[in-house]
Structure formats: C-alpha cells, structure tokens
Amino acid sequence: KVPLVSHHVKVGDMLPSIEVDEGEPGNTTNVLELFKGKKGVLFSGPGAFTPTCDTQQLPPFVKVSADLKFAGYEVLACVYVNDAYVMNAWGEKRRAEGKVRMLADPRGEFAKALDMELHTSPVLGRN
C-alpha cells in the first residue's frame, strides 16, 4: 500500500521557484513566475494516465476551464512527476491544449520542494 500524501498549497502560499518542462524536455517554465501576480489553479496527482487521474482528475478541469477563465483565473495548470513527452501525450488525449497547461516535473524537484513526494516502489515493485 502507498502512504497517503496530503499537503495542500493554500491561497497566498509562496510557490517554489522551480523550472518544469512544458511540451518537450528543455522547454522550461518557472512555476513561481508562471503564477506570480496572477489568479490561478495548480493541481497534481500521483501519475498521468493512471486510471483515477486520467478519468477523474484532469478531465473535470478541462471541462470547466472556460468557466474558470470567465471567473478571472488566468492560469490553469497541472504538474506531475513525469517527463514532458508523457504530459504532452496525456494533454493531447484529454484535449487539454489551450485549457490546462501540462507541466512535467521530471526530477521531482517541484514535488520535493512542496514536500509532496510519493514513493510508489512498494506498489510498482521497483526499488
């Protein structure tokens, strides 16, 4: 069983200044700069293409993205510990382009900075 990681970034909390990839490796975006001075939503989860994330987490945000923009949200993004190719493919599959920014945290630096690391090796069978 994987231990539950429950850490929430609250309104007004400072995001870490971490570079993440968007679209392809090396095309970096700084999370702090992306959200600086803007109203936004940032979410994450354990894994792109996993059953729950793929069907119950990303799709609702894609669906309400226009409503959020109308309500004044300037940035809507998700960040996962994955490579940019996986995040890009997942965004294409779920038609997130122009709705949700698909950010990749390939080294887990963003997750670590927020104390949100999730060690799945007991479940996945890898050390």
- Tell me phi and psi for residue 74, to 5 degrees: -95, -25
Cα(106)–Cα(16) distance, rounded to whole angstroms?
A: 16
Active-site residue identified among 34, 53, 68, 87? 53
Is 53 an annotated catalytic residue? Answer: yes
Cα(33)–Cα(88) distance, rounded to whole angstroms?
A: 21
SS3 114: coil
Do the bridges between strand 24-30 and strand 40-43 make them parallel or antiparallel, or are there none, so unpaired?
A: unpaired
> Buried b / exposed e across 101-110, counting CB within 10 Å, b at 16+?
bbbbbbeeeb
Q: Which residues are catalytic?
A: 53
